[in-house]
Chains A and B, each alone.
Chain A
Amino acid sequence: MENTMTTQANRDSSASAGQRHKIASMKAEQRFTNTMLYILLSAMAVVWLMPFVIIVLTSVRSMGDLISNGVFAWPREIVLSNFERAWNIGNFSTYFRNSLLLIIFKVPLGIIIASLAAFPLAKMQFRFNNAIFIFFLIGLAIPIHVTLTPLLVMMKQLGIQGTLAALIPPYVVFGLPFQIFVMRGFFRTVPSELLEAARIDGATEWGNFWRILMPLSAPALATLFIIDALATWNELLIALVLISSNDWRTVPVGLLQFQGQFSSQYTQLMAGVLISITPIITLYVFLQRYMVAGLTAGALKE
């Protein structure tokens, strides 16, 4: 990364006066474009945030207030007890632990396995390359619902049915086709010359994978990590079917409890939703750092 910066700095300072003028006019143009962009993006952002505003408003009011004044009215009175009730009766500490454990074990495991598989698919020529790739794509196209019963039987045979461990194999496997697909795509954009050069220098494929491909794919990896972590955090159907005991339920399954057969506790539910998305938003903000521009540019230039 340092490399990039220095090269760019050098180039800037060596630019001629004419070019500087050009750059200046381009900068003015850019400023105008940026202002327009801001206006447009802010307007969109407001629309996109609307549901979040409703969640917050609903979570800080009483049920009676919500019912008689409507969902979109300003709360009469700010009530924070929903959070306490949601946390306590919702058993969130357990759900948090379970969902976090899942993310910690599942997400890196899945992405590493997928990346390993994507490497030969993207950068090696061998007989069944194409066939294997298509074979993985089939997994992308099949709706998961029809595999639930066989999966449950399998987990029972493995003796992990009903526990959190039962979720790891299906979660990893349902992520695999997509992740292989994405990583293969990104690996393909890495110039093969880099690998060739390293091979001539005596690097092994194993070394190439870890020292060239993986670092170069950092933005893609961070992106996949975010996508996968969010998907895992919010996955409902598999968790619902494979986990029966309340002790091993995950966050989205836990949220269902605020909806009864005959009525829903909207205010507590929304408090629960807010509680449940806090860790994942934190994770997202943290991971965003790794998606910054220029992380890869330096290495590619050499």
Chain B
Amino acid sequence: MKLIRYQAPELSQWSPFNRLASLREEMNRIMDGSLAAFTGGNVGLFGGWSPSMDVVQDKDAVYVKAELPGMKKEDIDINFQDGILTLSGERKQESEVKEGESFRSERFFGKFHRTVSLPTKVDADKISATYKDGILTVTLPKAAEVKAKQIDVTVS
């Protein structure tokens, strides 16, 4: 029987892959919206990691859910600008000294950064977020003008 031990790829600081990772981020920014196709899962390409995200909308709001298990609330940053929501932060490995031996290492630690462009205009002042059981839920209420338009449509 054997145990396969492997390291999270981001352990090496000098790596040229870091530059590749920032290139990827740049591409994500350019290709906003369809970035899901690029990252797909929750494992980032070489640099950091990439949490899974879901986006749902109903008539009142857009909801963005991100799976961020094992973080501290204060280590999550939420930014909204020009119709683009950015989630970023850092998952820190617990500070316990590694006196023991690790022989399965599948969790990712370190920084993450994800952006999503919203399908509709939202009211930036009323954005709220909760973090529970490792899931971040951001609620972005739709802008009044969008809602008014929706009502018009239903009437006609």
To the question of whether A and B form a pair in one complex, the answer is no
Residues of A at the B interface (CB closer than 8 Å) are none
Residues of B at the A interface (CB closer than 8 Å) are none
